[in-house]
């Protein structure tokens, strides 16, 4: 992850033959019979927004590519890029959910949890988890505490997040405001979830953090859709403050 004075690390975009659509594996080079078909990124936007005319979808794509700045070049296989500790965190996701929710309820926050609805339901993930590029409102919910010695439930206010699709085909998630700002890649994993590998920047003077620069800043989790234009990034066993962090995103 990033050092104390971290900044973005940009990688050379991969060739079109190795680009991937979030939620799918890298697409092969088009055969002659496919020359007139939409490219992978146009297909991604058309699938996300079937009601939009094709040219509007392509225009939205162009804007997202102009704004995108890579955090790092993702391999397409999150297990190849993840640290061993982060792989184990994701594999222990269910136990993090169980312990964090139980501790929050024992701490008197059952009503708060009910108000959050599907956001804190472990099995609430819906198909098509890929978020459309753009700006989102986002907030962090922290559940449980390391060793049971801290607050079992903390809900922060709303900040701003954005999703970007890079020319290389990587889907990036970044929290752009607030004192703790995550940034990282979203990798394909299943039809109901993506995997996030990223890092957190602390304070107002730090730039975007980079995964695998500083173990204390590394973050890993699963990204899921839990409702119309409502998503969550669930990070089990974070390094600080809680047993489970949830970053809620909505439009």
Same domain flag for 57 and 133: no
- Report if residue 10 sits inside a domain: no
CATH number at residue 132: 2.40.128
- Report if residue 186 sits inside a domain: yes
Same domain flag for 96 and 216: yes
Same domain flag for 169 and 229: yes
Same domain flag for 55 and 129: no
Structural domain including 199 reads 78-250
Largest CA distance in the chain: 63
Same domain flag for 128 and 93: yes
Q: Rounded to whole angstroms, how far apart are CA atoms 199 and 208?
A: 8
Please report, in angstroms and rounded to a whole number, the separation of the first and last CA atoms in the chain.
Answer: 29
Same domain flag for 45 and 101: no
The count of domains in the chain is 2
Same domain flag for 63 and 98: no
- Distance set, CA 10 to CA 73, 85, 92, 161 (Å): 8, 24, 31, 20
- Which residue from 215, 35, 31, 233 is spatially nearest to 140, judged by alpha carbons? 233
- Report if residue 58 sits inside a domain: yes
Under DSSP, the state recorded for 126 is: B
The structure's pTM equals 0.72
Which residues are CB-neighbours of 55 under 8 A, at least 6 positions away?
none
What pLDDT score was predicted for residue 74? 65
What pLDDT score was predicted for residue 76? 80
What pLDDT score was predicted for residue 210? 84
- Report if residue 8 sits inside a domain: no
Same domain flag for 187 and 86: yes
What pLDDT score was predicted for residue 146? 85
- Tokens 């701003």, residue? 160
Same domain flag for 98 and 219: yes
- What string of pLDDT tens digits covers the 251 residues of the chain? 433 444 433 443 443 333 333 444 344 334 333 333 333 344 344 334 444 444 444 444 444 443 334 445 566 899 999 999 999 999 999 999 999 999 999 999 999 999 999 999 999 999 999 999 999 999 999 999 987 788 999 999 999 999 999 988 899 999 999 888 999 999 999 999 999 999 998 776 666 778 888 888 899 999 999 999 999 999 999 988 899 999 999 99
Distance of CA 247 to the CA centre of its chain: 9
- Report if residue 73 sits inside a domain: no
What pLDDT score was predicted for residue 68? 39
Q: Rounded to whole angstroms, how far apart are CA atoms 70 and 9?
A: 7
Same domain flag for 170 and 60: no
Same domain flag for 42 and 140: no
- Tokens 């490219």, residue? 39
Residue 243 tokens read as 């047993």
Q: Rounded to whole angstroms, how far apart are CA atoms 220 and 136?
A: 20
What pLDDT score was predicted for residue 52? 43
Residue 52 tokens read as 């939009």
Structural element, H or E, at residue 215: none
Cβ proximity of 224 and 234 under 8 Å: yes
- Report if residue 13 sits inside a domain: no
Same domain flag for 99 and 51: no
- Report if residue 185 sits inside a domain: yes
- Report if residue 1 sits inside a domain: no
């Amino acid at each position: 992850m990033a050092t104390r004075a971290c900044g973005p690390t940009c990688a050379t975009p991969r060739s079109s033959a190795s680009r991937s659509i979030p939620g799918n594996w890298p697409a092969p080079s088009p055969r002659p019979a496919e020359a007139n078909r939409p490219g992978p990124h146009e297909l991604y936007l058309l699938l996300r927004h079937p009601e939009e005319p094709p040219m509007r979808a392509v225009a939205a794509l162009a804007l997202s590519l102009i704004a995108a700045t890579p955090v790092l070049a993702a391999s397409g296989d999150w297990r190849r890029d993840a640290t061993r500790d982060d792989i184990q965190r994701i594999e222990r996701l269910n136990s993090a959910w169980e312990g964090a929710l139980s501790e929050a309820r024992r701490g008197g926050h059952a009503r708060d949890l009910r108000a959050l609805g599907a956001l804190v339901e472990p099995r609430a993930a819906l198909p098509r988890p890929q978020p459309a590029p753009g700006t989102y409102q986002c907030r962090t919910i922290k559940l449980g505490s390391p060793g049971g010695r801290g607050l079992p439930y903390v809900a922060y206010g709303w900040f701003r997040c954005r999703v970007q699709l890079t020319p290389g085909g990587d889907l990036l998630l970044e929290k752009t405001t607030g004192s703790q700002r995550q940034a990282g890649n979203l990798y394909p994993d299943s039809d109901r979830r993506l995997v996030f590998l990223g890092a957190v920047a602390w304070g107002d003077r730090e730039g975007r953090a980079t995964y695998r620069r500083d173990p204390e800043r590394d973050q890993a989790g699963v990204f899921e859709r839990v409702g119309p234009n409502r998503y969550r990034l669930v990070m089990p066993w974070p390094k600080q403050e809680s047993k489970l962090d949830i970053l809620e995103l909505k439009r």
